[in-house]
Amino acid sequence: MTKLSVNINKIATLRNSRGGNNPNLVKVALDCEQFGAQGITVHPRPDERHIRYQDTFDLKAVIATEFNIEGNCKEQKFVDLVLANQPAQVTLVPDAEGQITSNHGWDTIKHQDYLKEMVGIFKNAGIRVSIFVDPVIEMVEGALATGTDRIELYTEDYAKHYLQNREKAIAPYLAAAIKANELGLGINAGHDLDLDNLKYFAQTIPGLLEVSIGHALISDALYLGLQETIKRYLAQLSQP
């Protein structure tokens, strides 16, 4: 079954809006695990507007499932943070400074030499590496040359067009996944996946190992409760 990694950035955003420690980020992460999530994802940014750098140390000390740290490896502070925490996985995302959310994958051809260097740094430290990419065959092929273990397919375009024509929306992702499987690359996915579009994506993409979901899941939890929400997302990933 495809693993569910819960991105808890939005919990940190809520906490930071009032100061203090309510909601308690670490408790939420532990609750997510207890409710069945197979991983916890954080995406610290330089301004610490949601996840603070200290949060990663606090979470690493207690998380029993897979810990995934996303971010821009062009920031040395991020690189140092990942190496100090030794998560199960680091996901390299080409965010610009001040960017609200991730909105594109790496150009793995243009930045191949740089990515190869960064992938080597993390892999030498025993950390699995995933590179955020758009569903483009050439970008998948370029990712292989960097030495990465996995790619994470950026799924905003799929989510945006899912209700209009889901077969057309998923076509480039299916082609990219088939190529990744041929090349021996693991496949993750994330961005705007939700209870409406997740099941079809998971059923259609061969070899999908993990999805990272934050905004939609936390929004659903406002109405359904966190435990019920995680239960429903897991059901979308497990149904034939």
Residue 70 a catalytic site member: yes
Which residue in 33, 50, 70, 152 is the catalytic one? 70
Residue 50 a catalytic site member: no
Residue 161 a catalytic site member: no
Which residue in 50, 152, 191, 210 is the catalytic one? 191
| Residue among 69, 13, 3, 80 nearest 41 (CA) | 69
Q: Which helix (H) or strand (E) holds 207?
A: none
- How many other C-beta atoms lie within 10 A of the C-beta of residue 67? 22
Euclidean distance between CA atoms 29 and 6, whole angstroms = 8
Which residue in 43, 50, 152, 210 is the catalytic one? 43
Euclidean distance between CA atoms 205 and 202, whole angstroms = 6
- Pull the structure tokens for residue 138: 């050439």
- Pull the structure tokens for residue 106: 């790496």
- How many other C-beta atoms lie within 10 A of the C-beta of residue 25? 24
- Catalytic positions are 43, 70, 191
